[in-house]
Structure formats: C-alpha cells, structure tokens
Amino acid sequence: MKPLTITSRLEVYDSIDEVPQDVQDLMQKAIEVRDAAYAPYSNFKVGAAIYLENEEIVVGSNQENASYPSGLCAERTAVYYAGAKFPEARILRIAISAKSMRHKVVSPVPPCGACRQALVEYEVKQEDPIELYFMGETGKVVKADSVKDLLPLVFDSTCL
C-alpha cells in the first residue's frame, strides 16, 4: 500500500474589491443574473457568468421545478448555454455568486459536485483549465485555477 495525498491550492480574497477589475466585472454579471433565478422551493438564488475566449459573456441562474430533480443549477445552465451558443470558444473563466432569500450568505459558495463534473468536461474538451471564482452574497471570494482543483480523481473521457 502507498498513500496517495491530494492537495489543491486555492486563493482566498477578503472581498470582491480585491480581485482584478475584469473579474469584478464578471462577478457583477453573476450577481445581476442571480436575481433572475427561479428558486421558489429553495429560496436560494445562484448566478453564474462565463467569460469566453471570443470575449463573449454567457450567464445562467438556477431554474427549479416542482419535480425537484428536473431543476438545474446556475453553473450548468450557463455552461450548457455557452456550449450550445459558442461551441468552438474556449471557456476562460466562470464567476459564481449565491444569495439566500432567508439569511445573508457570507461564506463563499462553491459549485456542487454535479456542476464540477459538467464544467470539467469542457476543461478536458478544450485542453485548457477554466478559472473559477466563487462567493456568497458578500464576503470572501475563492479562486481555483482549474476545475480539477475542486474535483480530484476526476472521471472523464480518458476513463472510458
């Protein structure tokens, strides 16, 4: 037996004011689109904004359904929209912000496991990492250089 130790290096910024201006602008898009979330069941609204190499920005918010599993997270709404509209454009960056209608979300909210899996598919496809920045409603912003930093031992097409 040999132990396998997996580490990820993330960056934590004290507030949105500390991240580079272009990332602040992208996060602002995520914050704006967050309000368009349809979240009557969870009252938890998430916005995601994706910056593509062709300089287009594609956004998404979570869309819920009375049949709960039929709903979709903000990140997947955005990344599938990007894939559908600009299939050839590499994804450079995604910014994510979450807000609860019940309490103030002050801790960074990372993408769920299913969204990490969906995002890593595009990272593998484009052979280039996707930067992630995520936050709550206010407070710290976390940066990951790659989806793989949030999803070690990834299952991808090379496993098939």
Which stretches of the chain bind ligand THU, using CB under 6 A? 39, 42, 44, 46, 62, 64, 71, 73-75, 111-112, 115
**CB closer to ligand THU, 67 vs 158:** 67
- Beta partners for 58? 50
Least CB distance from residue 48 to ligand THU, whole Å? 7
Provide the 3-class DSSP secondary structure of residue 95. strand
d(CA 83, CA 119): 11
Q: Between residues 79 and 92, which has the closer beta carbon with respect to ligand THU?
A: 79
CB of 102 to ligand THU, least distance (A): 11
Active-site residue 75, yes or no?
yes
CA–CA gap between residue 64 and residue 71 (Å, rounded): 4
Per-position DSSP letters for 41-74, written without gaps between them = TT-EEEEEEEEETTS-EEEEE-B--SSGGG-B-H
The catalytic residue among 11, 55, 64, 75 is: 75
For ligand THU, which is the closer residue by CB, 54 or 107?
107
**Beta bridge partner(s), residue 132:** 94, 144
CB of 67 to ligand THU, least distance (A): 13
Rounded to a whole number of angstroms, the minimum distance from the CB of residue 94 to ligand THU is 11
Q: Which of 1, 56, 2, 3 is nearest to 26 (CA)?
A: 56
Question: Which CB atom, from 20 or from 106, has the smaller least distance to ligand THU?
Answer: 106
CA distance 79 to 9: 24
Active site residues: 75
